Amino acid sequence: MKITPINLPNFSNEFLSVFFLRWLYGLGFFTAASILTVAMQTSALLISGRPIDLVNAFYFYSMLWLPWSIMLPIVYSISEHFRFKEKNWIKPAIIHFLTSIVWLPFYWKLIHLMEFLLRIIPVFHDITQHDRQLFTVLMDYYWYWVILISVYLSIYYDDKRKEREKTRRLTIENLELSRNLAEARLSALKAQLQPHFFFNSLNAASGLIRESKKDEAIALLTKLGQLLRHYLEIEGYQWISLEKEIEFQKVFLAIQIARFEKRLKVDLSMDEQCKGVLIPVMVLQPLVENAVHHGIGAGSNDGLLSIKLSMENTHLLVEIENGICSDLKDMKGFGIGLKNIRSRLNQLFQEDFDLELSVQDAKTMRTRLVLPASRSEENALH
């Protein structure tokens, strides 16, 4: 027969703190129960005309109630660790039954000890008799299961509260993510729809026409239309396949090559293992645009733009290198869209990503992006 081991709680500092806090709650509750019991019994005796020692009565009922404050955090911890479930209720029931069997003799001995130390005279009935009546024993078991049911109700409502908080937090995060994505799309669209971008693109097309290069001009205008169509196509999607994103980047870079009269040279490579990987929409675009803008767009003599995509264990590695102006003093101005990207990536992957920008030998800017290589996501454009 296979014996399943029982995993005991981890007695860390946090566990002990929670245990102590629950004991304080139990102490307050059962102290109130003692006072209430004394008040009820006192009222009954006063009506019947019988005298009562209030101090001794309080000590006596505190002796009966307060030991349960020790048991409350124990029952709570056991109940949290061994939940009653539809298909697994026998094991928790046995554990609680055995716990009650062990607890009640200890409870009775504890009452004997308290009576001996405090020399309390039983007020209404002798609960310290060794030959306890069956009714009293059953009542003690009854109170254990009352406490157990109360604890499970508390756990149930606490789980529901945590579930509502989690749902609310996820809703807020999704709204924030959607807002950031919308801002990313809008920022990219604004960047491409700036008058100077269209002016330069159309100027490049008109220059090709003047040079009787009609086919190249038509190709440039076609690329411009593809660029705008892509922004409309990704509307409503959170993820996009790496192959489709690379196709878009090729269109964008083709327009840039035409604008800079082929002074811009692009070296783009992607490993076979990268195929099928999904990335967040509008993540690569700001990085590539940033490289063009601060490279040849800022007057760099080095017009080479290198984009390399590879796998690094279970993560996608994107490396972008571009030349920069020799008189560059700092990294100011390199943050176009990057703050928004980091915010989105943090919401999607928590800390399981890396985005770094650095200047290599004062002539080359290097952008390094590492993302989890997800291949199955909802709301993805393939």
Top-confidence residue, 324 or 247: 247
Query: Average pLDDT of 174-179?
Result: 75
Query: Average pLDDT of 21-46?
Result: 74
Top-confidence residue, 304 or 20: 304
The answer to whether domain 194-381 has CATH 3.30.565.10 is yes
User: What pLDDT is recorded for position 111?
Assistant: 74
User: What pLDDT is recorded for position 128?
Assistant: 43
Query: 184 pLDDT band (50/70/90 cuts)?
Result: low
Top-confidence residue, 151 or 218: 218
Do β-strands 304-312 and 265-270 pair in parallel, antiparallel, or remain unpaired? parallel
User: What pLDDT is recorded for position 189?
Assistant: 52
Q: Has residue 235 got a pLDDT over 80? A: no
User: What pLDDT is recorded for position 299?
Assistant: 62
State the Cα–Cα distance between residues 340 and 88, nearest whole angstrom: 47
Nearest to 369 by CA among 297, 280, 298: 280
pLDDT one-digit tens code per residue, 261-270: 778 889 999 9
- Compute the mean pLDDT over every residue in the chain, rounded to the nearest whole number: 76
**Residue 138: helix, strand or coil by DSSP?**
helix
In the block, residue with structure tokens 């967040």: 280
DSSP label at 374? B
Q: Which two tokens stand for residue 117?
A: 């130390």
Top-confidence residue, 95 or 326: 95
Please give the sequence-ordered ranges of beta strands (E in DSSP) within 243-375, or none if there are none: 265-270, 278-280, 304-312, 315-323, 354-360, 364-372
pLDDT one-digit tens code per residue, 295-341: 776 666 667 899 999 999 999 999 999 887 665 554 454 555 677 78
Top-confidence residue, 52 or 157: 157
Q: Percentage of the chain with pLDDT > 70?
A: 75
Please give the torsion angle defined by the CA atoms of residues 75, 78, 82 and 86, in that order, rounded to the nearest 10 degrees.
0
Q: Has residue 242 got a pLDDT over 90? A: yes
Q: What is the pTM of this model?
A: 0.54
User: What pLDDT is recorded for position 330?
Assistant: 47
Query: 373 pLDDT band (50/70/90 cuts)?
Result: very high
User: What pLDDT is recorded for position 316?
Assistant: 96
User: What pLDDT is recorded for position 314?
Assistant: 92
**CATH 3.30.565.10 domain extents, the chain:** 194-381
Nearest to 314 by CA among 358, 287, 349, 346: 349
Query: 77 pLDDT band (50/70/90 cuts)?
Result: confident
Q: Between the CA of residue 277 and those of 96, 110, 128, 319, 349, what are the distances in Å?
A: 50, 65, 73, 16, 15
State the Cα–Cα distance between residues 372 and 85, nearest whole angstrom: 35
